Structure 1
Amino acid sequence: MASQWYSLVSQKLFLARTLLEIPEQSSGNGNAVHTPVQKLQHEAVIQGSIELLLRARRLLLVMITRLYQKRSEEPSSLAELASVIGEQATEVGQLRALEQETGSWWNYLDQLETAQSRPPAARKTVNAENIIAVSAVAGPDRSAQALLKTMNAIKQFTDNLEEQHGEW
């Protein structure tokens, strides 16, 4: 039943939100993370939230296959979903559009997945001879606000999908 998968996707999103709210509770006063332990906990929260969002996206693909009554299929990518339910399916078209749209939640999750799956870039040491240029860390925004925005977009997409198919 697809609604069970909807519940599972919603659960992963709820857990990600819960994780992202932990730093707000522990710091309380809005100050930046200072101690090494707090920095480590903050990184764990961010990475854990990203993993939950990525899992929710994969489960969303499975949910869509269940909506199309493909019980034995569990796609892990948009290409696999398209091969299971067909390229002409409305959801595949919607997700393809999101995949191509810069700044969409699907595109953002692709960036996060790539960044999270690679070791961090080596940083050069700063000294008097090489302080000419300063470069910012390249990669997607990993802030709690950006992750919450993405989570809300996934939740909205999932809710709309469940509502549309629930009407049938």
Structure 2
Amino acid sequence: MATGDRPANEAELALGREAAIQGTIELLLRSRQLLLVMIARLYQKRNEEPATLEELASLVGEHPGDIARLRELEKASGSWWNHLDQLEMSQSRPPATRKSVSAENIIAISADTGPDRSAQALRRTLSAMKNFADDLEEQHSEW
């Protein structure tokens, strides 16, 4: 983010990192929506574009194994689906305002850190989503 010969300062670097993280999260969330559309099309719902698991289940029913697998992922606390739910909730809330810290107002509290937004966690979620989509495509192409 440097301009000309001037190196980027710490604030510009932090802003760039935050933009990259938020962009990655938005792309992951969009990918999950596209996965739902892919599943709808696998079940011959060509003109439908479900945005949620509930919408997909209402289109194809609760009984297909793919819906059951997604429901399990939705409930599992460490799953990629659950991680995306946490990220989506975090993205839709404004950042918490932070008070300035001084010697007079320091109080030790436990802060909600939110979902893991590290590059490693985002890569794990992406990899798990890709594996799910690959398995889904392979399973349905066997028919």
TM-score, with length taken from structure 2:
0.90
Q: Percent identity?
A: 64
SS of corresponding position for 1:103: coil
Q: 1:46 aligned to 2:10?
A: no
Q: Considering only aligned residues, what root-mean-square deviation do their CA atoms show, in Å? A: 1.7
Q: 1:110 aligned to 2:46?
A: no
Aligned to 1:79: 54
| Residue segments in structure 1 that go unaligned for 5+ positions in a row | 1-25, 27-32
Partner amino acid for 2:119?
Answer: A
| RCO comparison, higher one (Cα < 8 Å, 6+) | 1
SS of corresponding position for 2:104: coil
TM-score, with length taken from structure 1:
0.77
Give runs of aligned pairs for residues 127-138 of structure 1, distance below 5 A.
127-138=102-113
Query: CA offsets, 1:79-120, max 9 Å, x none?
Result: 000000001111110001000110110001000001001100
Aligned residues: 137
Give runs of aligned pairs for residues 62-73 of structure 1, distance below 5 A.
62-73=37-48
| Residue segments in structure 2 that go unaligned for 5+ positions in a row | 2-7
Larger helix fraction of residues = 1
d(CA) in 1 for partners of 2:82, 2:110: 24
**Deviation above 3 Å: which 4+ runs of structure 1?**
134-137
Partner amino acid for 2:65?
Answer: T
Aligned to 1:89: 64
